[in-house]
Amino acid sequence: MKLTSLIIEDDSMQAASLKKMVETACPEITVLDICFTIPQAEAAIRKMKPQFIFLDIMMEPFTGFDLLNRFVEIDFEVIFTTTYQDFAYKAIKVSAVDFLLKPFGEEELKLSVKKLKEKIASKQTMDYLGLLMQNIQKKPEAMQLAIPVLTGYRFVEVSQILCVESSGKFNQVFLINGDDFISTITLAEIEKLVPDIMFFRSAKNFIVNLSYVIEYLKNQEKIILKNGKSAPLSRLKKNSFFAAINRFQNS
């Protein structure tokens, strides 16, 4: 699949490096231009109509989201380039949009482009950007997660997740309203999506939402959750659990 793109990056060295990497690792992609400012990028997108853009988050004095907000209808895909420090990193990660974490190499680029092609081929487009734009404005506990399932993604507000239980290859996500579902990603991957302050890995196969913990049964080494669901608490994690409860209550 041949694709056209723009590189939107305010660091000229990083932009040149990415262009060279694209030409080497993904020759099927034509880089139409490199844009160093948001106004320049807006003009280039409207004129050249790329199929997707590589978009840096921090473009002083603007952000990449300021660029997206200039379009009433976004008819192009986006691969964000970001760092752990960027304010939007968590929102990007939970919204299922494509991103490259700086510094990245050819393998990460190839994987991101592969995912983008799959999304375009399956026509699963644009919804994820809308979700991201909503999540940027929200506190972590109010964000909507895009959790992979067999048929695509399940969109769930963080605060609705009661707990997650691992059962081999798949994980059961329990919701407070009882509308539970099976996820196709690992427990470790789900753990990375949810806010640290709000969720705790109580055992090898369990993550619990601390806001729904109502009791700890010492003799049974169990945590009782709001709807009667119970989760095991590993002996090795007992002290960490009470510390996590403390942090959560004082947050």
Domain ranges in the chain are 3-136, 140-249
Residue 4 CB partners (closer than 8 Å, separation 6+) = 29, 30, 32, 48, 50, 51, 52
What's the topology of domain 3-136? Answer: Rossmann fold (3.40.50)
The model's pLDDT over 193-246, given as tens digits with 9 standing for 90+, comes to 888 889 999 999 999 999 999 999 988 889 999 988 999 999 899 999 999 999
Q: Assign 126 a pLDDT band (cuts: 50, 70, 90).
A: very low
Give me the pLDDT at residue 123, please. 62
* Whether this model's pTM surpasses 0.75: no
Within the chain, strands assigned E span 3-8, 29-35, 52-56, 58-59, 62-63, 77-82, 98-101, 144-149, 152-157, 161-167, 170-175, 181-183, 199-203, 206-209, 213-217, 222-225, 230-232
Residue 139 in this model has a pLDDT that exceeds 90: no
Residue 38 in this model has a pLDDT that exceeds 90: yes
What's the topology of domain 140-249? Answer: OB fold (Dihydrolipoamide Acetyltransferase, E2P) (2.40.50)
Give me the pLDDT at residue 26, please. 95
